[in-house]
Structure 1
């Protein structure tokens, strides 16, 4: 589902962004899980005002949007992960690693049984290989070309069909949310 394209700024610089499918799925899921809360707070006379909940939801949405605005930049010097200037460095610092400092690409298993990969620098620090970008195959080919590390076994953490299934269930949840809110309004609870 994701295309193998990226934005190219110069012949030797490639910019990879998080897949739009992943962004849409995660932002939609956040909306589906949080937007009914202020309505439920009003209908149940909860001690937390619904206005506070709406403010918290808005702040959370902006934070999630910022986290999903990650960019991976590969150039002749190295690889770096950056975020837009409006994302506070306290929350998302990003990182940069020169190709000359890359010692290895090490797999690590996740709690769910998947594999993630870390760049291991000559100083022993680990840097997570971004795996949810559009053009992941091109990214790992470029890593192999720049470092000489064999990346033929490196595969994305999750496949597009997984996010399509999650997106489908998210839309079902949004429909249930809409029905719940409209029922509460019809009953005069709001």
Structure 2
């Protein structure tokens, strides 16, 4: 999994040049910390998330996260069975949305680092690699036990109080989808 993360980040050329220093930081972290993709790495760990889009409705699927109490994209920790970051992001999106028929773009959309407290109450940082995922027409989402709520929001009508990081992720997705 660590090798996959390195390969993805080495080959990725961010559309937004301001993402490149963060990409290089992630690569340095992966080189320096053998357990960088493991949830148990208290200093911080690589995570994978997915912005699920319904292109027909021009909307995104967001989850009301129980721990932080805000609407965010789907995603989470890499697990032992994950073979790649792309696979981890897709697995998380399927688990958290209840939608099996999702199509993932294997090229990262953007990176985002954020502090939080994981299970066990230990403060850490998520070094999140964010992917664009497309829902197939007619997909119906089902709330999982990892969410307080799950809902579709139009690209230009995100919920009140959504973080700037989610707004930036949606903006990046719109740029990619228009090209």
* TM-score range relative to shorter protein: under 0.3
Give the TM-score of the pair, scaled to structure 1. 0.26
Larger radius of gyration: 1
Structure having the higher strand fraction is 2
Give the TM-score of the pair, scaled to structure 2. 0.27
